[in-house]
Structure 1
Amino acid sequence: MKVAVYTIALNEAVHVERWAESAAEADYRIVADTGSTDDTIERLSNAGVTVHRIAVRPWRFDDARNAAMALIPPDVDVCCTMDMDMFLERGWRSKLESAWKAETTALYCRMVIRSSFDDPNPIRAYPSKSFHSRWGYRFRRPIHEALFFSGEEIPSNTDQIVMHHLRHNETNHEKYLRLMELALAEDPHDSQICFWLGREHMYKNQTEQSVELLERYLKLPTSKWTDERSEAMRYLARMVPEQRASWLDRARIEAPHRREIWLDLAEEFHSRADWLNLFWAASNGIENARRTGSYLDDPSCWGFRLHDLGAIASWHLNAMDRAVEWARKALELDQNNQRLKNNLNFFVGRREEMRLQK
């Protein structure tokens, strides 16, 4: 098996050495530079990476990545697409050779999102189609580009190969917005682009456009992923406050396994002082929800807040054993929170008072 790691680059000097070292187990390391003005090219060459200068006009991510893929030698069996701000954990080559079967066309590895190299704590993790066969694949979409296979795709998955992505916030939202609008114009039935474009408008506080796109997304026949559909409903609940309860309930029906929805519902019931429904939402979110492993998982929803709200509801319902249990768990998850400490002490005292009154 011959393996090539490839990508595109533009002013990525700060990432070069780490990227090149992590890809060193490959037979080929190939970078298509799209016009760097720093010393990216020099650093890549010094690291033994094959660098090609390319120009893509007008700019599209799919055209750039397809150009890079075309530069991979024909004797390669497996390709790894890895951006410059990503890196593979050591030992990935042997794990790839074990996981890749004769019939495999693509392999999903574990993608771990981190805020920086110095901070090992993951923001989130999800499966990523980072390995694919040399022939039959092309990138599509001018942005949020994805790999598509010309025949019957036979994917596989492994958690043994881990790729880290050092996420940064330096995004040209205006440029990305134009490219997403182009992507949706090229394929009006692309539900994922419709979702992402609606989300981008929400980020820019362009509520009318966002609501229109997200409602359109929910009506598309290609909109079938329940986790993503429920996320669109959560966004609509935020932007259309008079329909908040309705959208959150629809999101719950769509994806009852997502804690994010139960926390949103819990906050809504807490704002209304609806203690019975708050207890119901907290119970379901704590006991029945799970992480999905997708990019939609919100780590903050797995913090103290749902237990905190559940404890408050339990107190109001005089379910003091449960109030104490959840208050303790909330404090475990945020040990320096003085309010949580005060709440726990109060609940313990209240439980003791109720026992003495019996």
Structure 2
Amino acid sequence: MKIVVYAICKNEAQFVDRWMDSMSEADQVVVLDTGSTDDTVARLEARGAVVTVETISPWRFDTARNRSLDLVDEDADICVCTDLDEVFHPGWRAALESAWTPGTGQARYRYTWSFRPDGADGVVFWYEKIHRRHGYRWVHPVHEILRWEGPGQPGLMVTALGVQLDHHPDPSKSRGQYLPLLELSVQEEPEDDRNAHYLGREYFFHSRWDDCIATLKRHLSMPTATWKDERAASMRYIAKSYIQKGDPAQARSWFFRAAAEAPHLREPWMDLATLCYQQENWDGVLYFTGVALAITVRPDTYICEAEAWGPLPHDLRCQAYFRTGRIGPAREEAQKALVLSPTDPRLAGNVEILSRM
């Protein structure tokens, strides 16, 4: 099969060599540069990428992605869309070819979006940016997704076990353009529940608490908003907005609603545990962290957050046991927290202090 990697970029010279090394298993690498002022283009071309420079105005991610896809040869069998701040683990091509059965349209693969400070996985979910050459187009100005627009039915979605893509972004890069693009996205497709959720979340990131609450309440009222995990996430952002507005009672109510909506997720239970911790309700901390820890299957969606699956549940339990004079159980929880983050000096200090006590 002919496998082509395609991407968009702007001023990402620092990532070129790492990215090209990672993509070297492809037959071809095609890049649309949207206006770099550094030496990104020269570096890419020196490494063998086919680069086209164009300005996309007005800027939209879907327009840029579609233009980059247009640059892929018509006879390509598989198109792999990545960004320059992403890295495949070696052997990805063989794993992809093994999964790509006749009739396949897209492949989903494991994606690590963020890492914890100790290097462990942070947010992990399954991505779907690998697809066959014809019939798919990108839609939405931001948080763009592939949509089938070809004749007939889309191909099968396969799971490419062994394909792992890691995200190592530039933390100095601004995401300021996301909010106006999300507002535009909702204007264009007001009944798209996914975009409504993303817009409400973005309002939260911008500390616009009332806009966050109103937008996410609208999301919850939409007939198509049926995915319980995302509904619970909207409820949690509403709750956190109420905390910022100084209304912990409303926050508590919305956290409970989130837990009832998706009791299979750790996140709402950990929100309740954290709220109890802030209010020094130690029995509540122990109860809700216990419920969270009883959930042992980690979901494979972007809703899953790193904190709930890291040392935090055990760390909070350690604090609750310590504050209620139960040193033995506190030490056990401190040790469990340290196992999950062995380089954290604070957690190591807790184990040392409690051991002496």
TM-score range, shorter chain: 0.7 to 0.9
Which residues of 2 match residues 40-119 of structure 1 at below 5 A?
40-114=40-114
User: Are residue 294 (structure 1) and residue 301 (structure 2) matched?
Assistant: yes
Match of 2:160 among 158, 161, 167: 158
Query: Unaligned stretches of 5+ in structure 2?
Result: none
| Paired position in structure 1 for 2:211 | 209
Q: For the aligned residues, what is the CA RMSD?
A: 2.7
Cα 1:203–1:75 change in 2 (3 A) is same
Higher Rg: 1
Partner of 1:174, secondary structure, is coil
Which residue identity is paired with 1:181? E
Per-residue deviation at 1:211? 1.0
User: Are residue 280 (structure 1) and residue 291 (structure 2) matched?
Assistant: no
Mean alpha-carbon deviation: is it higher for 68-77 or for 292-301?
292-301
| Paired position in structure 1 for 2:142 | 143
Match of 1:224 among 217, 222, 226: 226
Partner of 1:73, secondary structure, is coil
| Paired position in structure 2 for 1:10 | 10
- Distance of 1:176 and 1:289 partners within structure 2: 34
> Contact between 2:136 and 2:146, CA under 8 Å: does it hold in 1?
yes
Cα 1:157–1:271 change in 2 (3 A) is same
Give CA-to-partner distance per residue, 1:155-178, whole Å, 9 cap, x none: 111230111211233344432211
- Distance of 2:50 and 2:279 partners within structure 1: 61
Query: Unaligned stretches of 5+ in structure 1?
Result: 347-358
- Distance of 2:67 and 2:106 partners within structure 1: 19
Cα 1:209–1:5 change in 2 (3 A) is same
Per-residue deviation at 1:343? 4.8
Cα 1:26–1:104 change in 2 (3 A) is same
- Distance of 1:67 and 1:33 partners within structure 2: 11
| Paired position in structure 2 for 1:186 | 188
Which residue identity is paired with 2:196? C
> Contact between 1:89 and 1:161, CA under 8 Å: does it hold in 2?
yes
Per-residue deviation at 1:31? 0.8
TM-score, normalised by the number of residues in structure 2: 0.87
- Distance of 2:351 and 2:238 partners within structure 1: 31
TM-score, normalised by the number of residues in structure 1: 0.87
Cα 1:266–1:41 change in 2 (3 A) is same
Per-residue deviation at 1:119? 8.0
The total of aligned residue pairs comes to 345
Per-residue deviation at 1:333? 4.4
Give CA-to-partner distance per residue, 1:102-121, whole Å, 9 cap, x none: 011000111123569x9854
Cα 1:99–1:273 change in 2 (3 A) is same
Which residues of 2 match residues 202-351 of structure 1 at below 5 A?
202-240=204-242, 241=247, 242-311=249-318, 325-333=332-340, 336-337=345-346, 338-339=349-350, 341-343=352-354
| Paired position in structure 2 for 1:170 | 172
| Paired position in structure 2 for 1:35 | 35
> Contact between 1:115 and 1:167, CA under 8 Å: does it hold in 2?
no
Cα 1:174–1:316 change in 2 (3 A) is closer
Which residue identity is paired with 1:199? R
Mean alpha-carbon deviation: is it higher for 24-33 or for 262-271?
262-271
> Contact between 1:258 and 1:290, CA under 8 Å: does it hold in 2?
no
Per-residue deviation at 1:273? 4.7
Give CA-to-partner distance per residue, 1:72-118, whole Å, 9 cap, x none: 111111100011111222222222111100011000111123569x9
Mean alpha-carbon deviation: is it higher for 119-128 or for 231-240?
119-128
- Distance of 1:42 and 1:103 partners within structure 2: 38
